Structure 1
Amino acid sequence: MDRPRFRAAFLHPRYWPLWLGLGLLWLIVQLPYGCLLFLGRFLGAVMYRVSADRRTIAALNLKLCFPALSDAERDRLLRKNLASTGIAFFEMAMSWWWPKPRLARLAHVEGLEHLQQAQRDGQGVILMALHFTTLEIGAALLGQQHTIDGMYREHNNALFDFIQRRGRERHNLDSLAVERDDVRGMLKLLRAGRAIWYAPDQDYGIKQSVFVPLFGIQAATVTATSKFARLGKALVMPFTQERLADGSGYKLVIHPPMSNFPGESEEADCLRINQWVEVALRQCPEQYLWAHRRFKSRPPGEPKLYPKRG
C-alpha cells in the first residue's frame, strides 16, 4: 500500500470540525505523561456513567469469563477497564504525535531477540497479539525497535485515515500496511521473511471460524492463524503488552515461537490459541478490550448472549 499523502481536499470546510478536534487533542497530549493518565481515568469514569452500551457489553463479558468474582469485584474491574479505555484515547495521540525519543523512554521490551533471530534466518513471523487497550501505543513502541507490518482497514473518513496512517507509519519507514482482506499480499510478505502483527482474538463470524472453548464458553475462533502460518511458512510468536502500574511506561514481551504450530488440526490450533489468550488476559484483565462482543456468534441451537443494541 502506498504511503499516505496530504490532499488539498482535506482543507474543505466539511473537515474543519475534525481539524479542530485533532488540534485540541494535539495540544492536550503535550502535557506530562502523568497528567494524561489522570485525564484518561477521568474519561473512563465518564464513560462508565454515560456509555451504557459499552458498559453493558463489558460487564457481561466479565461475568461470563470471571464467574468466580463477586459482583462488587467485577464492578471494580469494569471501572478499571473503562479507565484503561479512556487512557488509550490519549495513548493513541501520544503514539501519533509525541517526539520519538520521548515516546521511546516508555518502552520496556523483552524477547526482541526472537524477532531478530527470525530476521537473520529469513523466517517470516506472525506476531500474534491481542486487542489490549494499549494496542496503539504498544505497536508504536515495538515499531521503533523492529520492522513490523500490520493488517489495516481503511477508515471511512479520508482525513482521519490519513492522520492515523501517517501517525502509525512514522515510527518505522520500512513498515508496510496490508489491507485486511489482502491474503495474497500477507502471504507474500511472510514468505519474504517479514513480521506481521495479527490478532485472532475477536469474533469475525462463523464463516472462517471454528467453535472452541474460551473461558469455558464456545467461541467462534478464526482459523486464519493456522492457514497463514502454514501457507506463509511462518513462525507464530505470541506478543503481549501491559501499561505498568508505576507510571514508568509499557512492558512489551515477544514470547518464543509456538512449537509444532500449525498442529494436527485447525480445531487443535484454535484451542491452543484460546488457551494462550486466557493466560494473557488473566494476567492483565483490566487492560483488555472487553467492550467487544466476543461471544456474538453462537453454535447452532444456542441462544444469543448479548442484548440488542439500544
Structure 2
Amino acid sequence: MAKSHYPRSFAHPRYWPTWLAIGAMYVAAWLPWRLKMWVGSGVGRLAWRFAKRRRRITTTNVALCFPEKNAEAQRRLVKDTFIANGIGLVETATAWCRDPESLRHRAVYVGQENMARAQAQGKGVLIIGVHFSTLDMGGALHSLFFSAGAVYRPHDNPLFERFMTRARLRSFDQIIDRHDLRGAVRRIKAGHSVWYSPDQDFGRAASVFAPFFGQQAATIKLTAKIARMTGAPVVPLVFHRNPDNATYTFEALPALDGFPSGDDVVDATRINAFIEQAIRRHPEQYLWLHRRFKTRPEGEAGVY
C-alpha cells in the first residue's frame, strides 16, 4: 500500500500492529545474548516450516547456485538460511535499539588499513556490501570504526519508516533513498563514504547480465556509474557472524584497481565475483529468501 493511503495519525488502529512490532524489537534487543540467539533461531525455524513461498524461493536459489550439493545438503542449507535470517531479525532489533558502543567487544575488524587508505585519498569511498542477515548489525558495528552513509529502500509504512530511519541514523551519518543517485554522488564527492549493496535484482532496464554462481544474473549498472561519476575508490567489505554466535568479523579488502573499466558487463562480473566469494564463506547467512534471479535473459523462462 502506498504511503499516502496510510492514516496520518500514528495513534490510528491501523498502526497498532506496527507499534506492537516495534515494542517486540525493543524487548528482543535487551534479552541476554544467548536467549536472543535462541529466540532468533526459533523464529527462523518457524519461518522455515510455515513461510512456504519464501521456502520455495530459497530452495530454488540454493538448487541453482549449489548444484554440486546433493539434495540433503541443499535442504540443510535452506533450513540453515532460515535460522540465520531469524537470528538476523533479533540482531537487527539489537542494532536499532541499542547503543552501538555497547557492542564494540563483539567486533573484529580486519583490513582497517585498506579502508583508512581509501578514505585518506579525500575522494570519498564507495563501500560495497552484501545482503547478509547480519546487514544492520554490520552497519552498527562498522560505525564504531569508520563513519559512512548508507543507501536503503524506504519502507511503505510511515510509522515503521520513521522508526527504521531514526534507528539507522544511530549507525550511519546519513541514509539515502536508493533512487536518489544524485544524493549518493553528492555525498561521496563531499569526501564521505557511502555503503551500498548491489546484489539484488532491480530489473532489466537498470541492469546487465553477468555470471553469479554459474547463473546469468541481472546485475545493476549503478555501481560502476557511481564510481565513474565520483572518481572514488571502491572498497569491498566482507562481514559475517562467527560460529560462536556472539562475535562478528569484518574484512575491508583493498580498493578495486582499474574500476570502473568502461565495460558494464566486465564491471558487473567483477562485483558479482566478489559477492560470490563473500557468500561462499558463510552461505547460510546470505538473504537467499529474495528472488535474485527473477529477471531472466531474453527467451529464458522464469525460475520461480
| TM-score above 0.5 | yes
Question: 8 Å contact 1:94–1:103 — kept in the other structure?
Answer: no
List aligned pairs for 1:1-310, cutoff 5 A.
9-171=9-171, 175-306=173-304
Greater Cα shift, 8-17 or 152-161: 8-17
Task: Measure the CA separation in 2 of the matches of 1:186 and 1:71.
Answer: 43
Task: Measure the CA separation in 1 of the matches of 2:273 and 2:118.
Answer: 25
TM-score by length of 1: 0.91
Q: Decide whether aligned partners of structure 1 residues 100 and 214 sit closer, same or farther in structure 2, where only a CA change above 3 A counts.
A: closer
For residues 7-33 of structure 1, the C-alpha deviation after alignment (integer angstroms, 9 at most, x for no partner) is x93344433332233223312331111
Question: 8 Å contact 2:44–2:85 — kept in the other structure?
Answer: yes
Please state whether the residue corresponding to 1:294 is helix, strand or coil: coil
Question: 8 Å contact 2:168–2:175 — kept in the other structure?
Answer: no
Provide the residue aligned with 1:5 in structure 2. Answer: none
One-letter amino acid of the counterpart of residue 237, structure 1: V
One-letter amino acid of the counterpart of residue 145, structure 1: F
Q: CA RMSD in A?
A: 1.5
Task: Measure the CA separation in 2 of the matches of 1:59 and 1:94.
Answer: 29
One-letter amino acid of the counterpart of residue 99, structure 2: P
After the TM superposition, list the runs of 4 or more consecutive aligned residues in structure 1 that deviate by more than 6 angstroms: none
Task: Measure the CA separation in 2 of the matches of 1:291 and 1:21.
Answer: 21
Q: How far does residue 264 in structure 1 lie from its aligned partner after superposition?
A: 4.2
Task: Measure the CA separation in 1 of the matches of 2:184 and 2:101.
Answer: 31
For residues 70-113 of structure 1, the C-alpha deviation after alignment (integer angstroms, 9 at most, x for no partner) is 00011111111100010011011100112333222211112222
Please state whether the residue corresponding to 2:9 is helix, strand or coil: helix
Task: Measure the CA separation in 2 of the matches of 1:185 and 1:23.
Answer: 32
Aligned length: 297
Question: 8 Å contact 1:212–1:219 — kept in the other structure?
Answer: yes
User: Identity percentage over the alignment?
Assistant: 38
Task: Measure the CA separation in 2 of the matches of 1:164 and 1:185.
Answer: 19
Greater Cα shift, 190-199 or 109-118: 109-118
One-letter amino acid of the counterpart of residue 289, structure 2: A
Task: Measure the CA separation in 2 of the matches of 1:139 and 1:101.
Answer: 12
Provide the residue aligned with 1:3 in structure 2. Answer: none
Task: Measure the CA separation in 2 of the matches of 1:20 and 1:202.
Answer: 30
For residues 188-244 of structure 1, the C-alpha deviation after alignment (integer angstroms, 9 at most, x for no partner) is 111122111111111110101111211221111111111110111111111111101
Task: Measure the CA separation in 2 of the matches of 1:13 and 1:195.
Answer: 40
Q: How far does residue 149 in structure 1 lie from its aligned partner after superposition?
A: 0.4
Which ranges of structure 1 fall in alignment gaps of 5 or more residues? 1-7
One-letter amino acid of the counterpart of residue 233, structure 2: L
Question: 8 Å contact 1:133–1:289 — kept in the other structure?
Answer: yes
Question: 8 Å contact 1:190–1:233 — kept in the other structure?
Answer: no
One-letter amino acid of the counterpart of residue 129, structure 1: G
Q: How far does residue 60 in structure 1 lie from its aligned partner after superposition?
A: 0.7
Task: Measure the CA separation in 2 of the matches of 1:278 and 1:191.
Answer: 29
Provide the residue aligned with 2:5 in structure 1. Answer: none
TM-score by length of 2: 0.93
